[in-house]
Structure 1
């Protein structure tokens, strides 16, 4: 009898043990499921991070390309400015004078503006000579008279000739022959002044008047 009771008690113990194992198994399965969900979530986050990283890399590449493009444009602008500065440096002061913008011209003296006016259309007023082109004091007086409507003073004409001489540098010089002062322009100086002068020069009407008075 005792053996049967012992066997029954043993069976009860085994059943309790089975229940415990089943409970442990269920808890373990729940843990595994939770870990699987965590892993799946981490994979999704990793995929998101990878996608975001690719987007950022693409943006970085675009930004780098844009920066290089801006650097190229800046280099081009600097090169143009450098070329313009070099070109401006090579010009004589007389060439620079006739290229002055209107705002800067307002600061010129009256005689500087007169010299500029004559220089920008020098080919129209000067006479061809073996040394290049000549412009005598009488012609300058006539041009200024046609421009301003009154005969300029002798000193005014002299000052204008001095400005043309000083600003023209080696391409221009003053000579006096048989009592008449003349400004002599080299052919190269005249060509440079003609190329430098604004295309919309308004000297043609005055030139017609001057030619008529010669």
Structure 2
């Protein structure tokens, strides 16, 4: 009888140990579940923030596309205007000259890159270097000029688009070439002379003095 009681006590102790172990495991599991719930909530907040940022990027992309479309329309309008006026006189201004000679009210309606190209073309003789083919200005110089003008370094694509704009509106008198890994816009002597004649007279601008 004594042996049976001892056996029962031993089994009871084992059961109590198992119950304690199970309760500890339950407590650990509850803590794990709570931690995972917090992680999920945090990730949900991060996902919501990322979705918000994505929506903002999509909105900016739409605005950029609209600006590009407007730029293309302006280019076509200038080119069409140049073609329509060509029969009236032999001294028709190039689209680039027309861009420079726009009144201030019209300039305010230009896109950012149109204004940048206009700014460069107005004083191209001051910014460009004399070369056998006329005058050349490389992408690095354009970046410096725009940085001085806007107090910030322009994006590489911005510089490229400004050069393409000068190339298109300059017609046969402006050509963008790439040499030794660097893009350059080459203006003929005639183009520089005509642009200088179209621009208002004056010395080197403050912007030029700032980056030289």
CA, structure 1 residues 112+88, in 2 after alignment: closer, same or farther (shift >3 Å)? farther
The residue that corresponds to 1:193 in the other structure is 195
The DSSP-based 3-state class of the residue aligned with 2:130 is strand
CA deviations on 1:151-172 (whole Å, 9 max, x unpaired) are 0000000000001000011110
Q: Which has the larger radius of gyration?
A: 1
Q: Take 2:188 and 2:209, find their aligned partners in 1: how far apart are those partners?
A: 24
The DSSP-based 3-state class of the residue aligned with 1:199 is coil
CA, structure 1 residues 184+133, in 2 after alignment: closer, same or farther (shift >3 Å)? same
CA, structure 1 residues 111+157, in 2 after alignment: closer, same or farther (shift >3 Å)? same
The DSSP-based 3-state class of the residue aligned with 2:170 is helix
CA deviations on 1:56-103 (whole Å, 9 max, x unpaired) are xxxxxxxxxxxxxxxxxxxxxxxxxxx9x9469711000000000000
Residue 107 of structure 1: how far off its partner (Å): 1.3
The residue that corresponds to 1:21 in the other structure is none
Q: Take 1:138 and 1:105, find their aligned partners in 2: how far apart are those partners?
A: 25
- Kindly indicate whether residue 149 of structure 2 is the aligned counterpart of residue 147 of structure 1: yes
Q: Take 1:120 and 1:86, find their aligned partners in 2: how far apart are those partners?
A: 25
Q: TM-score, normalised by structure 1?
A: 0.56
Q: Take 1:187 and 1:139, find their aligned partners in 2: how far apart are those partners?
A: 19
- 5+ residue gaps, structure 2, are 1-84
165, 174, 178: which is aligned to 1:163? 165
Aligned length: 127
CA RMSD of aligned residues (A): 2.0
- 5+ residue gaps, structure 1, are 1-82
Preserved CA contact (<8 Å) 1:88 1:96: no
The residue that corresponds to 1:182 in the other structure is 184
**Equivalent residues in 2 for 1:107-146, closer than 5 Å:** 107-146=109-148
**Equivalent residues in 2 for 1:1-214, closer than 5 Å:** 86=88, 90-199=92-201, 204-211=205-212
Residue 210 of structure 1: how far off its partner (Å): 2.7
Residue 208 of structure 1: how far off its partner (Å): 1.2
